[in-house]
Amino acid sequence: MRSSTGIFDTWYTLTPQGVLHAFGSPEPDAQQKALQALLRSEQAVSKSEWGLTNMDTANLPHAQERQWVQLLSRPVSGPDTRLSDFIRHVIAPLSGQRQAVLASDSGFCLDRVGVEHEEAEAVSAAAADFSEYAKRQSRRGWQGANRYVSFYEDSHLLLPSWSFVPIWVDGSGYWLAIAGEPLLNSLALVELVWGICLAGNRFAPDF
């Protein structure tokens, strides 16, 4: 397809796995920052816009091999974050029970779906506790606490009752709390993080 310059082009965006990798660290490395650039524009970034420098830094062949980057034949527009129910619209499909909460790492409930207010507040407070724990462990040299947290009511550990997924955008931390089966391999995850990137301070902890 021709780009706005009249030249045939291709477009790139992140996959759900790519989002978890690129935005999964409070201090992203050069590769993660290059991949994050794919969700900084109002529409999917073209090959010419992304440029060879970003492609080299992101190690594009490796990123495609790991299925972090998706190649598109046409530009795709970013989400409309002006919608009042944007957050609950995109976090609902990430839960097998359609129950989820998006919280800041300071414990503020940004939005919820299928969860009562009191429980959402408790879940958000728990997210803040996990965030502080992860920071303490990072200072001690262990980065494993920065990943995912799950709790199980079933002793066979077949399905978590709650899972907590950390996401960092421009230094701000967010925790996606998912009830029941976490469905993270979903384009809704890309839409959520893309929306946070576009909205900027709108979804910051002091929102």
Give the pLDDT confidence score for residue 23 in this predicted structure.
97
Query: Domain locations in the chain?
Result: 11-72, 86-203
Q: What is the pLDDT of residues 185-207, one digit of tens each?
A: 999 999 999 999 998 755 654 43
Fold for 86-203, please state it: Beta-Lactamase (3.30.450)
* Residue 10: burial class (beta carbons within 10 Å; 0-12, 13-18, 19+): middle
* β-bridge pairing 109-113 and 100-104: antiparallel
Q: What is the pLDDT of residues 76-91, one digit of tens each?
A: 999 988 878 899 999 9
pLDDT of residue 144: 73
